[in-house]
Structure 1
Amino acid sequence: MLRVPELTTALALILTGCTPPGTPSGGGTSANGTATPARLKVASWNVEHLAERDGEGCRPRQEADYAALRGHAEALGADVIAFQEVESKAAAERVFTPDKYEVVIEERASAGAQGGCYGMPGQRLRPQKVGFAIRRGVPFTRNPDFTALGLGNDNLRTGVDISVGASAPLRMLAVHLKSGCNSGRAPTDRDCDTLFAQVPVLEQWIDTRGQEGAPALVLGDFNRRLASRNDLVFTDLDDGEPAASDLSLASGTAGATCKSKYREFIDFVVLNKSAAEQAVAGSFQEYTYDLPEEQHPSDHCPVSVSLRTAS
C-alpha cells in the first residue's frame, strides 16, 4: 500500500518526443502529448463532494483542505486518474493543477445546487461529475462522452471516454454508477432498478471495445461490491460474450482497508482481456491516507494499477 509522504517519482520521468498531430482535448489528441511511458499507472478516486469554491457543498473545504488533496494527488503518483463527485473543471483543477495535469470532465448539463446536505443546515448539494486528470506529457484523445449511461436522466452521471497512448492506445471509461444498491437486488428497490438499467448499457460499451480488439478499462465508483461471490452486476457484465470482453478486477480478491466498517471495495479498475494482459502483476494498490479516519480528506481511498504500454 502507498502511504503519505511516499512519492512515486519514477512515473514522472516521461519520455519526450514529438507532439502528435491533433487538437486539444475538447476534440482530439491532447496538445500536451509527447510519448507514452513504458508503464502507465492508472487510478480511480472519488474525491467526495469536491466543490469549486471554499465553504460550499456537502463537504465544505478551505484552501488548506484543497492543498492537502493536492499533496495526496502527487503522492498517488498516477499518470491517469478517473475522478468522481467533482462539481466542475475548475473544482478538479484545485486538486489536479493545470501545470501538472490536463482535466477533462463530463459535459452533462447541470442546474447547479440541488437540494440540501444531510445534517448540514444551509449547505447545498453541488453537481457531482466524473472525469479524468491526465498527467501532462501523456498523450490522449478525448472521445465523445458516453451519455447513454445517464439513461436520459440529467441527475445520473454519464461516462467520460478517452484513449491514452500514441500507438495502440488504451481505451478508458470513467464512471460513477447509481448508489443505493451495493449488493443483491430487492424486487421493489428503485435504486436497484436504476443500477440494473445501467448495466446492459455499460456492457454494450465493454463488448464494443472487445469486438474492436481494443484493450479497455472501466474505472470508477460502481457503488457495488463487484468482487462479492456471484455478484449479479459483475456476472451480467462479465458474461463471456464476446470472448475478448472477458473481464477481471485489478483488485482481485483483495479486501478494502480505507474504512474500518467497509471491508469490500466499491471502487474498481475493471479490465477487459487485452488490458488484463498488459497489467503489471502485483501492481494493484489501495492508497491509504495514513491518518485517523475522521481526518481522511475523502470518504473513499484511491485505487490504482500499472499497465505496460505499447511504445
Structure 2
Amino acid sequence: MTIDVEERSAHKRLMLKYIVAPLALLLAAGCTPQIIPASPEPAERPLKIASWNVEFLAAKDGTGCEVRAPEDYAAMRRIADGLDADVIAFQEAENVAAASRVFDPARYAIVMEERAGAPSGTCGGKHPEAQVIRQAVGFAVRKGIDFERHPDVISLMLGNPQLRSGVDITLRPKGKAAIRLLGIHLKSGCFAGSEAKACPVLLDQIPALEAWIDAAARGPDRFVVLGDWNRRLALPGDTVWQDIDDAEPAYADLHLADEGKAPGCDPRYDSFIDHIVLDKRAAADLSAFSETRYAFGEKHYSDHCPVAVTFRR
C-alpha cells in the first residue's frame, strides 16, 4: 500500500497527539518540580537587660567576704548563662578577672568602673578573718552588640573612694532603638525612711543621680538606671522615688519595673532593693519583668537574685 506525503504528515501529527498529551498530563500530575516556600526567618530576638549583685565576687578562690570554691563559681556561671541576657549589670565584683568567672568572656565583653577603691579591714560576720576586697560596678555586654562607653558617673561617690561610681554606656543593638544604661550601687543601710545611720550618705547621692537622669531625659535616647539601689523604692510614699520621678523634664516620668511585684529570693524580704528603672520612652517598649530565683533547697550563691526586663524592640 502506498501512502502519500500528506497522509504521512497527518499520521505523524496524530501519533504526537497520543504521545505528548498523556506525557503532559503525567508531568502536571506529579513530575513537575514542587516549589517550597522558604522558611520564615526566626522572630527577631527581644532585647533583655538584667541586673545581679554577685556579693563580694573575688578573683581567687577562698578570698573576700563571701568565700567561694570553684564549684560555686561554676554554678554562678550557669545562672548567668541561663539568664540569656543581652546585657547584665553587676555589682560587687573585685575586678575583670572576678567578673569573667561568672560572665563567660567568650560570650560577654566586661566593662567596669575605673574607681580603684580603697578596701581595708576584715569582713566580720561569718568570715571574720577574711579581708575586704574591692566592690565594683560593671556591665557584661553580649559580644556582637555595639555599645559606647561614657565617662563614669563619679558624682555618686561624693568624693569618697569607698562609694561606687556609676557605669554609663549606650547600647546600639542591631535593628533596635539605642538605649542608654546607667549601672549603679548606692550606699547600703538606708532601705527606707531617713533615720538610719547610712541615710545621710545615700540621700546625698540622690541629687547626683537625679542630675544624670534629667540630663539623659533631655537626650535623644531612651534610658534605664539599674542595679542595687539599696532602697525599697516601691514602698508607698518613698521620698527617693518621689524625688527622681518628677517628670521634669518630660521623659523623667519614670517607671519602676518591679512595681506591684514582691521578691521571692529571700523570704525575709517583701520588697525589692535591686531595681530596673525606665524612662518614659523605654517603659513604652517594656514587655516583661522577671526575677530568677534559686531552686528550692539550693545554696544561695549570692545574697541577691538576678532581675531582668525584656523589651519589644
* TM-score over 0.5 for the pair: yes
Which residue number corresponds to residue 178 of structure 1? 187
Measure, in 1, the Cα distance between the counterparts of 2:203 and 2:57.
Answer: 27
Provide the C-alpha distance between the structure 2 equivalents of 1:94 and 1:180, rounded to a whole number of angstroms: 28
One-letter amino acid of the structure 2 residue matched with residue 172 of structure 1: L
Q: Paired residue for 1:216?
A: 223
Question: Hey, what does 2:293 align to over in structure 1?
Answer: 288
State TM-score, norm by structure 1: 0.83
Q: 2:172 is matched with which residue: 165, 183, 186? A: 165
CA distance in 2, matches of 1:181, 1:222: 10
Q: Tell me how far 1:113 sits from its aligned partner.
A: 4.5
Give the Å deviation of 1:116.
3.0
Mapped to 1, the partners of 2:121 and 2:210 lie a distance apart of: 30
Which amino acid letter does the alignment assign opposite residue 289 of structure 1? Y
Asked if 2 retains the 8 angstrom alpha-carbon contact of 1:117 and 1:124, the reply is: no
Aligned pairs (5 A) from 1:1-311: 38-166=45-173, 168-186=177-195, 189-280=196-287, 283-292=288-297, 295-309=299-313
Q: Is the 8 A contact 1:114 1:126 kept in 2?
A: no
Partner secondary structure for residue 192 of structure 2: coil
Other structure's SS at 1:284 match: strand
Structure 2: runs of 5+ lacking an equivalent: 1-40
Shift of 1:14: 10
- Determine the C-alpha separation between the residues in 2 that align with 1:301 and 1:74: 14
Distance 1:121 1:272 in 2: 42
Name the CA distance, whole Å, in 1 between partners of 2:136 and 2:121: 13
Cα contact 1:117–1:125 (8 A) shared by 2: no
- SS of 1:123's equivalent in the other structure is coil
CA distance in 2, matches of 1:61, 1:237: 37
Which residue number corresponds to residue 33 of structure 1? none
1:124 alignment partner, SS class: coil
Is contact 1:106–1:159 with CA below 8 Å preserved after alignment? yes
User: Residues 136, 239 of structure 1: CA spacing in aligned structure 2 closer, same or farther, 3 A cutoff?
Assistant: same
Q: TM-score, normalised by structure 2?
A: 0.83
Runs (4+) off by over 4 Å: none
Q: Closer, same or farther in 2 for the Cα pair 1:162/1:62, shift >3 Å?
A: same
* Residues 184 and 121 (structure 1), Cα distance of their counterparts in 2 relative to 1, 3 Å cut: closer
| Secondary structure of 2:205 counterpart | helix
Larger radius of gyration: 2
Shift of 1:190: 4.0
- 1:20-79 CA distances to partner (integer Å, 9 max, x unpaired)? xxxxxxxxxxxxxxxxx6521001100111011000011011111100000000111111
Q: Tell me, in whole angstroms, the C-alpha distance in 1 between the residues paired with 2:148 and 2:212.
A: 17
Preserved contact between residue 171 and residue 217 of structure 1 (Cα < 8 Å) = yes
Tell me what 1:8 maps to: none
- Whichever residue aligns with residue 150 of structure 1, its letter is M
| Structure possessing the higher relative contact order (Cα contacts under 8 Å, 6 or more residues apart) | 1
Paired residues, number:
271
Partner SS, residue 110 of structure 1: coil
8 A contact 1:219–1:269 mirrored in 2: yes
Q: Deviations over 1:90-135 (max 9, x none)?
A: 1000111210110001000133544333242321111111100011
Task: Give me the whole-angstrom Cα distance separating, in 2, the residues matched to 1:108 and 1:114.
Answer: 19
C-alpha separation between the residues in 1 aligned to 2:42 and 2:72? 29
Report the residue type matching 2:167 in the other structure.
V
Counterpart Cα distance in 2 of 1:210 and 1:38: 26
Distance in 2 (CA, whole Å) between partners of 1:308 and 1:138 is 17
* Higher helix proportion (structure 1 or 2): 2
- Residue in 1 aligned with 2:22? none
